[in-house]
Amino acid sequence: MNSDPAVNDRVDVVLVYLPVRFGGGKNFGLPPLGVYYLAAALEEGGISVRVLDASIKGLSFEETIAQIDACSPTVVGISAMTPHIKSLIKTVDKLNDIGYRGRIAVGGSHFNATGAEALDYLDVDYLFYGESERNFTEFVKRRIADQPVDDIPTMAYRQGDEVTVNAKGNFIDELDELPFPNLRYGDPDDYEFVAGRYDRVTSMMASRGCPYLCTFCDVFAIWGRKLRLRSAENICDEIEFNMKTLGIREFVFKDSTFTLNFKWLDRFLSELERRKLDISWQCNTRADRVDFDMLKRMRDTGLRVVSFGVESGDQDIINSIEKNLQLDTIHEAFRMANELGLQAQAFFMIGHVGETRETARRTVELAVQLPATYASFAVNVAYPGTPSYDQALKQGLLLDPKWYLYGLEEGEEQFLSIPSEASTGQLMHHDFPPVEQMALTKEAYRRFYLRPSVIWRIIHRAASFRLLWRAAMFLPTFLAFSIFSKPSKDPFRGGYAMRQADAAE
């Protein structure tokens, strides 16, 4: 199947995943699962569909529009998270300018949090929020048949000058009923993971929903608090499907806490053992949801990388963000993973509600104490739908509730920062401003990675020479970010700075 929409026949639906910034060149990355799940549901419903992942392909704005237009779809569906809003607005405006005659529908995590608000600044026909595999498929079927769509759940739309928001539909309880995402809706060769062992990689989800209350996370706004699990058999069937149809042997589970349910995990590992699947896999979890025997068994079935959300090195901050972990538990989880020869990754954030220079520095100190193979440091951005967003507004740390629209002023290229700049979504701590948060993030990267012990651990535990080669390819980017680049001295420039000043008065 030819993967370039520009040279294919017309399809009913083009599903588009946009970049934060157009024209950056081909990227390493994983498939956007939400888009591919929608594509699978549409195909199961007899609807022809194409996925255009303009982000992974590194397409320019002009190339993205041309490839959408070439398919002459009845419906263009565009998925967006908060960082994609500017790209989304630009794309929608251009499609309208060139006279696209079909319908434009948008969906994604940003709209689960902000709802129909987006119809104030987006010239689109329909907006979907929540789980949409069934509702969006029904919507497209009716659009193709020219039937009314105004009663479809989990959808917002315009009626003249009025906006109608339909009731939210029910969550999908039986996840096994969903068809498997298939990378052939797009281009399987696009997806490579920098830490991958094999040529092709895909992401998977074993569950939906999360019972935890972490204040920086919006997963519950998308999938609810109740944990819904696919069966072990169904997941292994999907693994075998990808192995047989696409030769994929590298799998990255994107669940927030993969080991949350111990009984389910035992069934999953038993099924991997029974089928003798020769794969490499990775997952995310919490430090208090693992033990030595569990990790050993996971390693023996192909687990290579386990990632822990640590978030902070200060116990008071950990408590305030409702992570509900103890520092001793974090140390023990990394000790076990290291002893078993696993590549353990730690995720940290700097700039939480209540953060100070001192608490943030404790995070950096914890990072260099842990025997982790990798560490990821990010500044905390207050995304809509998270409790920290609400807290920041109440405490005056986020003076513009619609900060994500910053950058729409004429002449500004983007509303979010490039990696070397502070972001307008960061919290405005008076004694620890965004520029200092970013500077400390860069320092954390330098202190963690520029150590012989970490360099040796990466080399020693690399799954292939290709992984080392990819790591070497990223060295110039790492040095440019962590050493040579300087954070913006005035990240809140232009119209946003004026709105902040107005709000302060």
Q: At 155, is the secondary structure helix, strand, or coil?
A: strand
Which are the contacts of 144, defined by CB distance < 8 A and separation ≥ 6? 12, 47, 74
Residue carrying structure tokens 């109740």: 226
* 293 burial type by CB count under 10 A (0-12 exposed, 13-18 middle, 19+ buried): exposed
- The partner residues of 345 in beta bridges, in order of sequence, read 307, 374
Q: Mean pLDDT score of the chain, rounded to an integer? A: 88
In contact, 57 and 64? CB cutoff 8 Å? no
pLDDT band at 101; cut points 50, 70, 90: confident
Buried-state track 57-72, b at ≥16 Cβ within 10 A, e below 16? bbbebebbbebbbbbe
Residue 404: closest CA among 122, 81, 28, 164: 81
In contact, 434 and 426? CB cutoff 8 Å? yes
pLDDT beyond 80 at 434: yes
Residue 195: closest CA among 376, 33, 18: 376
For 164-183, what is each residue's pLDDT tens digit?
Answer: 999 888 899 999 999 999 99
pLDDT of 478 reads 62
Phi/psi of residue 471, each to 5°?
A: -60, -40
- List the structure tokens of 371: 């025997």
Residue 82: closest CA among 353, 413, 492, 405: 405
- The one-character DSSP state at 137 is H
Distance CA 411, CA 456 (A): 46
- Look at 470 and 290; give whichever has higher pLDDT: 290
Measured between alpha carbons, how far is residue 305 from residues 4, 139, 188, 301, 371 in Å?
A: 33, 40, 22, 12, 13
For 124-170, what is each residue's pLDDT tens digit?
Answer: 999 998 889 999 999 999 999 999 999 999 999 988 888 999 988 88
- Look at 294 and 86; give whichever has higher pLDDT: 294
pLDDT band at 343; cut points 50, 70, 90: very high
pLDDT band at 115; cut points 50, 70, 90: confident
- Look at 114 and 333; give whichever has higher pLDDT: 333
Distance CA 68, CA 85 (A): 18
pLDDT beyond 90 at 475: no
Percentage of the residues of the chain whose pLDDT score is greater than 70: 86
pLDDT beyond 90 at 364: yes
The strand order across the sheet containing 280-285 reads 201-204, 250-253, 280-285, 303-311, 343-350, 374-379
pTM of the model: 0.90
For 47-93, what is each residue's pLDDT tens digit?
Answer: 999 999 999 999 999 999 999 999 999 999 999 999 899 899 999 99
| 372 alpha-carbon distance from chain centroid | 22
Distance CA 17, CA 9 (A): 20
Q: Where are the beta strands (DSSP E) in 170-321?
A: 201-204, 207-208, 228-229, 250-253, 280-285, 303-311
Sketch out the chain's domains with CATH numbers. Answer: 5-165 (3.40.50.280), 192-484 (3.80.30.20)
pLDDT beyond 50 at 409: no
pLDDT of 192 reads 82
HSE-CB of 220 using CA atoms within 13 angstroms: 13
Residue 175: closest CA among 124, 214, 209: 209
Residue carrying structure tokens 């009731």: 167
Distance CA 106, CA 460 (A): 45
pLDDT of 20 reads 87
Phi-psi region of 224 (alpha: psi -120 to 50; beta: other; left: phi over 0): left
What is the rounded average pLDDT of the residues 293-311? 97
Q: Which helix (H) or strand (E) holds 185?
A: none
pLDDT of 219 reads 86
pLDDT beyond 50 at 490: no
- List the structure tokens of 377: 């440091």
